Every structure is written in structure tokens, then in C-alpha cells.
Amino acid sequence: MASLTRLQLKACSISDAGLAHLANHASLQILFLNQCSEITDSSQEVFESLPALQSLYIEGTQITPESLAQLRETLPKLKIHY
């Protein structure tokens, strides 16, 4: 999966620990995590480690508004759908 560019995980039970395995996928551009309620602020490091990430869909996760604001500051070009 070295050339993985898009991943859609909707309403699944993936956790922050599971999501951490994506950190090695430098080509990932679009990530859908809508309704993945086990995703929390702890996943921010994973998002920051994906240099090609352009769009992030995180509606229905446990990511807080504070973490969202920090993520937008850290990755200003990232389109976040919350």
C-alpha cells in the first residue's frame, strides 16, 4: 500500500492506535473517518505525519474543537471537514 492516496473508513471501530499504522503512508491525500467514534485528539500526530494529506473528514469523531483549531493552525493548507 505504498501508493495509497485515498482511504475511506466510515462508521467503523478503528481506534487511535489503529490509525497510527497510517503514519507510514506518505502518499495519502484524502482520509475519511466520518462516524469513527473511537478517533480522538490523540490522532492529531498521525494527521501531522502525512505530508501529502489534503482533505480530512472527521465528522462524528471525538476530536475536540480545541484540537481541531490546533490542527488547522499546524496544517493551514489541510481542508478539514468536521
Asked if the structure places residue 40 within a domain, the reply is yes
The pLDDT value given to residue 24? 86
Cell triple for residue 25?
503512508
Report CA torsion sign: 65, 69, 70, 76.
positive
- Confirm whether 69 is domain-assigned: yes
Residues of the domain holding 41: 6-81
Q: How sure is the predictor about 10, in pLDDT bands with cuts at 50, 70 and 90?
A: very high
Q: Is 48 inside any structural domain?
A: yes
79, pLDDT greater than 90: yes
**Does residue 1 sit within a domain?**
no
**pLDDT at residue 1 greater than cutoff 60:** no
**Residue-wise pLDDT tens digits, 33-64:** 999 999 999 999 999 999 999 999 999 999 99
Q: What is the pLDDT of residue 3?
A: 87
Any idea what the CATH number is for the domain that residue 49 is in?
Answer: 3.80.10.10
**Residues in contact with 22: Cβ distance below 8 Å, sequence separation at least 6, in sequence order:** 7, 28, 31, 46, 50
| Total domain count, the chain | 1
